[in-house]
Structure 1
Amino acid sequence: MLSPQDQLTELVRSLETQQHVFTTDPLLVTEKMQAEEGKPLQKLHRRASRIDSNGNLARVLGKIDGRIKGIMVIMSIVWCVSGFLGLFTLLQSNVVNFFYVLVCLLGFHTIMLGGWLVMTLINQGRQSPSWFANFVSPSYLIRGKDDVTKAAVDLYERQLQHSGMRWYLGRFSHQLWLATLTGMMFAIIFLLIVRQYSFSWESTLLSDQALIGLTNVLGWLPSMVGFDVPDSAAIVQSRLVTEAMPLSVARQWASLLIGSLLMYGIVPRAIAWAFCALMFRRKKMRLDIKLPYYQKILNFWQRQVVDADDFKEAPAPVAPKATVRAGKKLVALLEYPSEQDNWWQVGLDAPDNDIDDIENFGIVDDRDDMDRLTTYLEQHPVQVLLGIHSQALPGRGTLRKLDRIANAAKHGLIVQLLNNESTDTDTIPTPTTNANDPKNPQAVRYQQWQTALAARKIGLIANS
């Protein structure tokens, strides 16, 4: 069974899908709870309780649950009384055949308990018996043609079809057996208090020694918890007794009878009942909040988190600022020529009288240019200033050339992005230009070079 809160929540879902008119508008309750804190299941429970503001839904569910539990209590009382009366009828004679009474007490019970254990081990299916669902169907317990009653009855019937109900049935079955055995125990204790019995045994095939061994085996477990067991002399003396026996011997047999009923009847059945109760709790039906109905409500409550203006855009990579070293420099153009002869003077901030310290390599484009440049750099420890035209793209081939030059330059490599002086529109943008603007391809290309240089930690000369 679902918990009472889950039942109410599920009943609200069932009625709302049927366009039922509630005392409190579900949409209004849902909107008011949007800002409340709590786990999803807890908020769904509170929502159902507020929708059922007059308690009508909870009363119908409580009425069905109370009648089901009432029937179980009544049946348990009837079984207890039947056990009491059955044993009361069996012990009318003053001389009692011990083993005959014991078989009547525990024989059928033991067979049924063993059968239940075997079926539990064999039956690995999860389906509960259909006859049980029909037997305790709420439609027999409550009458009503209104929407609430019909939906509540349907909810209970769906719960009775759940796989965990097989353990609920087992627990109820063991409960009835415990009631019967308890009634028998009350009857034995009552009769032993008000009457004096003599116990005997009879057998055509078994000898005295066989009965002594059987009694000792039977009495082993009761003796572990303090019950008396007849000794060998008392067992032999009790054969074919037809009249009153010594009170001490009768008390030993009476103690063994009570101990056997307790240890071989009530205790195993109580263990089986506890096992079914534990399994039923583990297999208990849970509210499925993954249903579209619940997901829609939960998504609505989470909108305030999704719509919150807490997005922080990751900053675009920026190349480090170039550091011009003292000493001789080598300047070169990557793949494209420059329309300005001394393009490097602005980047190096070099006056005309320092031109002797600057070696102009020219354009680095093909493989021969790269081989010639790397050979020069291996022989001369210089800092390289590489001019990159605005039309150059940071493709894989271009970046491989850049990496090769950076590895060969012993005093480092710095880069200057050059303007295209041929037109007014092809101007290298400043770092503040939006690089994601599709209408400004130059800005996009500038940011691509910023990203490539930042990844390689190559300094970039800022544009003037």
Structure 2
Amino acid sequence: MSKLQKLWLTETIRLREEHTGALEDSETNRRVQVAGGDFVERLQHRALLLAERDGQLQALNHWRQGSRLALLAMLVFAVLSGIGLSVAALGDGLRPVNVFWALGSMLGLNLLMLLAWLLGLLFAGDSAGALGRLWLWLSEKLARDAQAAQLAPALLILLQRKRLSRWALGVMSNGFWLIALLSTLVSMLLLLATRRYGFVWESTILSGETFTALTQGIGALPALFGFSLPDAELIRISGDNVILSEAARQSWAGWLVGVLLVYGIIPRLALTLICWLLWSSGRAALKLDTSLPGYSLLRERLQPSSERIGVNDSAPESLHQPHSGHNANPSEEAVLMAIELDTQRQWPPSELPEGVRDAGVIDSREQRKRLLEQLTRFPPARLLIACDPRRSPDRGALSLLGELSRCAGATRIWLLPPPNGEALDSNRLSDWHTALDDLQLPYNDAAPLSWLEGAHDSE
């Protein structure tokens, strides 16, 4: 795939996730992380894998085929339009040709569309224009793939970041009219070569001098390229009667051909080449905008900040030791809570004293954060924490106990008895006693509910 196609496919996947939600990509992300590369390369690799899995890659190929068919259809239409313009301008040769009607038929619509394109370029920014929208619509219809819905919007968004859509669609618009005018020129030369036309000009309110000045003014630039320019006498006489001389016919025919070439074909050719050069130079600078939310949310999943290869740092001389404490300005509240209890234990205890608030069981990081925020804002006078001594007193649990104790006026640990029919491991219970002694937190094997209720120590 080319660079443009990779960027296009990546942008398509981003738009799809914006409209339908995040895709299931756990396996894809693992494969991307193994493949490596910088963040942009990983985004493109992820998009390619998801597109292959979900059908966007096949839809892209169908869309490209449809776009080629749409261009071919527009090319055929441009050729037929050019032939129609020349036939409308010159007619069947049975009636004389009004030179200004012929000129308006060949160049009038082209000049209006050229003016509309230039105004759109100045004021509408990256507007696709009528021909651009027609091409995009035909491409999608001819693709006939439901997965191609985000392809056209993704392409326009990608190109608009470097303002390239105006030049890409400018090549198409000016190229269409260039083909149409070339077809007009060729078919007009064939008609002039095979039929005998007479040329006149007609007007009710304009004088012959006005037409003479207008005709010579328009023909002055083509005359510099060697095209014929009718003299003033020939122009004046042609307003009264059809001049049958060969010189007069050839002079008017050369004037029409020169005007069509200089004012129609050459400007369109120049604009097509300019748009193509600007498109080609800007296409190399295309890149993804990784600051978009759809991409920035993927950074941690595709390029984790905690990713490690081997041992990077030496072990510290000593590990951080958790410590307990107390809050110097507690309220009058008493709080009972538990950490990491299994579902077989009943909680809260049935004999919970009146006035004691049950803070529940803390099992997850979110619950821990929420409870610490509450206790920090409203520190209780007494805090009783129930622990299951069948679990090991790991550093995480001890650190949590120390942090909770610093949020209360006084803290006590309740080492719960085992369920009926079970016995505690004496070694593990000894580990709890040692750890809590080191943490300088008092503990009880029986429920110190009287202490919790009124600060009366039962020991």
State TM-score, norm by structure 1. Answer: 0.52
Q: In the alignment, what sits opposite 1:174? A: 174
CA distance in 2, matches of 1:205, 1:288: 62
Q: Is the 8 A contact 1:77 1:179 kept in 2?
A: no
Q: Which stretch of the first structure deviates more once superposed, 167-176 or 77-86? A: 167-176
| Correspondence list, 1:419-458, <5 A | none
| Correspondence list, 1:214-363, <5 A | 214-242=214-242, 244-245=244-245, 247-274=246-273, 282=282, 286-290=287-291, 291-296=295-300, 299-300=303-304, 303=307
Letter in 1 for 2:23: Q
Q: Is the 8 A contact 1:30 1:297 kept in 2?
A: no
Alpha-carbon distance, 1:55 to partner: 11
CA distance in 2, matches of 1:133, 1:89: 25
Give secondary structure in 2 for the equivalent of 1:3. Answer: helix
Q: In the alignment, what sits opposite 1:106? A: 107
Q: 1:114 to 1:127 in 2, by over 3 A?
A: closer
Q: In the alignment, what sits opposite 1:213? A: 213
Q: Is the 8 A contact 2:70 2:139 kept in 1?
A: no
Alpha-carbon distance, 1:298 to partner: 5.8
Give secondary structure in 2 for the equivalent of 1:240. Answer: coil
Alpha-carbon distance, 1:74 to partner: 0.3
CA distance in 2, matches of 1:55, 1:190: 54
Q: In the alignment, what sits opposite 2:150? A: 154
Q: 1:139 to 1:98 in 2, by over 3 A?
A: closer
Given the alignment of the two structures, is residue 19 of structure 1 paired with residue 24 of structure 2, yes or no?
yes
In angstroms, what is the RMSD of aligned CA positions? 4.2
Q: 1:112 to 1:155 in 2, by over 3 A?
A: closer
State TM-score, norm by structure 2. Answer: 0.53
Q: In the alignment, what sits opposite 2:137? A: 136
Letter in 1 for 2:300: K
Give secondary structure in 1 for the equivalent of 2:229. Answer: coil
Give secondary structure in 2 for the equivalent of 1:17. Answer: coil
Alpha-carbon distance, 1:285 to partner: 7.1
Alpha-carbon distance, 1:108 to partner: 3.1
| Correspondence list, 1:56-75, <5 A | 57-75=56-74
Given the alignment of the two structures, is residue 196 of structure 1 paired with residue 196 of structure 2, yes or no?
yes
Letter in 2 for 1:62: N
Q: 1:119 to 1:64 in 2, by over 3 A?
A: closer
Alpha-carbon distance, 1:191 to partner: 0.7
Give secondary structure in 1 for the equivalent of 2:97. Answer: strand
CA distance in 2, matches of 1:183, 1:44: 46
Q: Is the 8 A contact 2:174 2:271 kept in 1?
A: yes
Q: Is the 8 A contact 1:133 1:157 kept in 2?
A: no
Q: 1:168 to 1:197 in 2, by over 3 A?
A: same
Q: Is the 8 A contact 1:137 1:157 kept in 2?
A: no
Letter in 2 for 1:30: V
Q: Is the 8 A contact 2:7 2:288 kept in 1?
A: yes
Q: In the alignment, what sits opposite 2:328? A: none
Q: Is the 8 A contact 1:127 1:161 kept in 2?
A: no
Listed one character per residue, the Cα deviations across residues 36-90 of structure 1 (whole Å, up to 9, x for unaligned) are 6xx6545644565567679964332021122133223302311320230242244
CA distance in 2, matches of 1:133, 1:183: 21
1:32 pairs, out of 26, 31, 34, with: 34
Listed one character per residue, the Cα deviations across residues 66-120 of structure 1 (whole Å, up to 9, x for unaligned) are 2133223302311320230242244212532222211222223323322433344
Q: 1:160 to 1:31 in 2, by over 3 A?
A: closer
Q: 1:114 to 1:233 in 2, by over 3 A?
A: same
Alpha-carbon distance, 1:141 to partner: 3.8
CA distance in 1, matches of 2:219, 2:62: 48
Letter in 2 for 1:249: A
Letter in 1 for 2:193: I
Identity across the alignment (%): 25
CA distance in 2, matches of 1:306, 1:280: 46
Alpha-carbon distance, 1:193 to partner: 1.9
Q: In the alignment, what sits opposite 1:439? A: none
Alpha-carbon distance, 1:304 to partner: 5.7
Q: Is the 8 A contact 2:222 2:258 kept in 1?
A: yes
Q: Is the 8 A contact 1:64 1:138 kept in 2?
A: yes
